[in-house]
Structure 1
Amino acid sequence: MPANATTTVIVNSSSGTGCPAEYERELEERFAAQGVQADVRLVHSGEAIVAAAKDAVAQGATCVVAAGGDGTVSAVASVLAGTGIALGVLPMGTLNHFAKDLRIPLELDDAIATIAGGREADVDVGEVNGRVFINNSSLGLYPDIVLDRERQRRRLGRGKWMALIAASLHAAKRYPVLSLALEVDGQPLHRQSAFVFIGNNAYTMEGFEVGERERLDEHVLSLYVTQRKGRFALLRLAIRALFRRLDQARDFDSVRAAHVTVQTRRNTLHVATDGEVVTLRTPLEYRIRPGALRVMVPTA
């Protein structure tokens, strides 16, 4: 990084296994060992992540580092997209899909070295009704299961996996199917589906190497609409989706596009973006934003 670069590191203290308060000093020392003077900020919520990123931009940071999982990276990216300010990634979450797809090292010191001495790459982001996502967005079964899972964890005190199983069974009983009027780059497409997946660039959904992206700069959305019918077939599909175990040819109709409109009979829909579920008004307007996000990635 240039000698006059200013780096802000936003740490989601609840990501993964969490981190103690003294972790702030430890991270500053690790960055200093790589020749980077870092302003490390520990935060505790999604709102605080966004507020810290906006403050870093206002203070003139030339690189803002997201230390956490995909949700943390997505929150910081939503602020940096379109600014030209570099995003650094310290993968500290459970899955770290964005970092893996960009070949960013998962080991902490190697990830810091990438931020300190890597190269800048401009990658695409997706957007739905103005909400940025770096990985994917989904409708139907998946956001319903996520909401139910979190509700059970809060109200009933169930563990993560027990709540997931119970939420999946509830979803199978409800059998939620959406009647969709899609417009894909101006072409109409009508489907009855319980599971819709929109990726930022193309995902490889074949065999057991599922959910990876070879590139994030092809300037396309990838739309996958499930072909499967039947209550328990959908349940199996949802569980496999949570573990990124899907088969593109068997499970989905798929198409690539720059713009997708989703209209249903409902005025609002639960929409998952990078694992976070929100309620958005229909129609849903998806678009790709080519090269909108600058990210520090390995030189090779």
Structure 2
Amino acid sequence: MPAARPLRVTAVINPIKPGIMDARQELEQACLESEWPAPVFVETTIDRPGGPQAREAVAAGAELVVAMGGDGTVREVAHGLAGTGTQFAVVPLGTANLFARNLHIMRGRLSQMVRMALHGTVARVDLGLASFREYAGVGPWSGDLPFLVMAGIGQDARTVVETRDSLKSRMGWLAYLESGARHLLHEPIRMRVAIDDEPAEDVEAWTVLAGNCGRIPTGIEVFPDALVDDGRLAVLQARIDHPLRWFGVAAQGLFKVRSAASGLDYRAAEQVIVTPSEPLPVQLDGDAYLPVGEVRFRVWPRSLHLRLPPGRIRS
């Protein structure tokens, strides 16, 4: 790795993740090899999942904050660091590692990942934010919740809600496929979708997704054109009105060939507001939230200073 000036490093760690002790030792050794100060370690808890610890680390003078855990820990630490200018790095230790996979921060070579976290190229990337209302158009929006890869409302979120914990413990992210297969033939849902300043449109959609990155662990690119640093969200309305449309969807995802027959409507936006005809669950990077009457997805452009392998940002 290239030489870099010493940085004060804090690692926000999920203490229950497999491999966390090895990751701690690797970070301590990497800082020692680089003649940097010893890293500070702070643990997440159920009540404090990473965001507060990240903000406290910044206030205490940390110059680089490393998230060591799964997608939930990474997402929360990112939210705590967004807009601060403090550098952010990821050592993925979760099941799906969606964000790390999209940016080629691969799990499996722990020593290399830790040293890349310390010495990788700094790039400015976007953060997605979601806020909810219990009833459409009534009352203030909730506080923002972060997402780094993609968020959705509709049948995809129901898929996440109904994924069996027993399968997740045995199969990891493959468990979502089992739940997804059970939902493929469910009817589309009536929703009102407002993209940026355009007039709201009434649609029937299986799901509406907002993406900051494009790829899910199966290798399928849900958003082939998504860029993590362009200040826009990729918006997908899956208007699946007949089971045969799923063949077009599969072909598009696997072979990256756009087809009008798939029923997939793509846009790019800074904000999208979705109002379903009935309360629906929402998912953020594969984590489910209770049914809501209205959801707003928006982007916080280039708000994170993320350390990455060289050449991993396309724009």
Letter in 1 for 2:97: N
> Structure 1 vs Structure 2: percent identity of aligned residues?
23
Report the aligned-residue RMSD: 3.5
Greater CA drift, 25-34 or 190-199:
25-34
Q: Is the 8 A contact 1:224 1:255 kept in 2?
A: yes
- CA 1:280–1:46 in 2, change beyond 3 Å: closer, same or farther? farther
Taking a change above 3 Å as real, the CA distance of residues 114 and 276 of structure 1, as seen in their structure-2 partners, is same
For residues 226 and 205 of structure 2, the distance between their equivalents in structure 1, rounded to whole angstroms, comes to: 27
CA distance in 2, matches of 1:83, 1:280: 32
| Residues in 2 aligned to 1:182 and 1:162: alpha-carbon distance in whole angstroms | 30
> Contact 1:14 / 1:44 at 8 angstroms: preserved in 2?
no
Q: Is the 8 A contact 1:217 1:291 kept in 2?
A: yes
Distance in 1 (CA, whole Å) between partners of 2:242 and 2:187 is 11
* Residue among 5, 8, 11 paired with 1:6: 8
- Change beyond 3 A, Cα 1:168–1:40: same
The answer (yes or no) to whether the contact 2:51–2:78 under 8 Å persists in 1 is no
Are residue 142 (structure 1) and residue 142 (structure 2) matched?
no
1:195 to 189, 207, 229: 207
Residue equivalent to 1:123: 125
- Report which stretch shifted further, 50-59 or 269-278: 50-59
Look up the match of 1:294. 305
Distance 2:174 2:230 in 1: 39
SS of the counterpart of 1:47?
coil
Secondary structure in 2 aligned to 1:79?
helix
Q: Which one of 105, 128, 133 corresponds to residue 147 of structure 2? A: 133
User: Which amino acid in structure 1 is aligned with residue 68 of structure 2?
Assistant: A
Cα distance in 2 for partners of 1:209, 1:13 equals 31
The two structures have a TM-score, normalised by structure 1, of: 0.79
Cross-structure match for 1:74: 75
Q: TM-score, normalised by structure 2?
A: 0.76
Q: 1:222: how far off?
A: 0.7
Change (3 A) 1:269 1:58: farther
Kept after mapping to 1: 8 A contact 2:100/2:106: yes
Residue of structure 2 in register with 1:253 after alignment: 265
Task: Write out per-residue CA displacement over residues 143-165 of structure 1, whole angstroms, 9 at most, x where no aligned residue.
Answer: 111111146669xx986689656
Unpaired stretches in structure 1, ≥5 consecutive residues: none
Pair 151,102 (structure 1): closer, same or farther in 2 beyond 3 Å:
closer
Is contact 2:187–2:241 with CA below 8 Å preserved after alignment? no
Rounded Cα–Cα distance in structure 2 between residues aligned with 1:70 and 1:152: 19
Deviations 1:63-106 (A, max 9, x none): 11011233321111111111111111112233433234334454
Note if contact 2:96-2:172 (Cα within 8 Å) is conserved in structure 1. Answer: no
Unaligned runs of 5+ in 2: 132-143
User: How far apart are the structure 1 equivalents of 2:297 and 2:114?
Assistant: 33
| Alignment partner of 2:285 out of 274, 281, 284 | 274
Task: Using the TM superposition, give the Cα deviation of residue 124 of structure 1 relative to its aligned residue in structure 2, in angstroms.
Answer: 0.9
SS at match of 2:163: helix
Q: Secondary structure at the residue paired with 1:146?
A: helix
**Aligned amino acid, residue 156 of structure 2:** Y
Partner secondary structure for residue 90 of structure 1: strand
Equivalent residue letter for 1:2: R
Measured after TM superposition, the shift of residue 182 of structure 1 is 0.9
**1:161–1:260 Cα change, 3 Å:** closer
User: Structure 2 CA distance, aligned partners of 1:110 and 1:213?
Assistant: 29
Deviation at 1:270, TM superposition (A): 1.0
Deviations for 1:221-276, whole angstroms, at most 9, x for unmatched residues? 11111132246866996xx7xxx75855335111111121111223x431111111
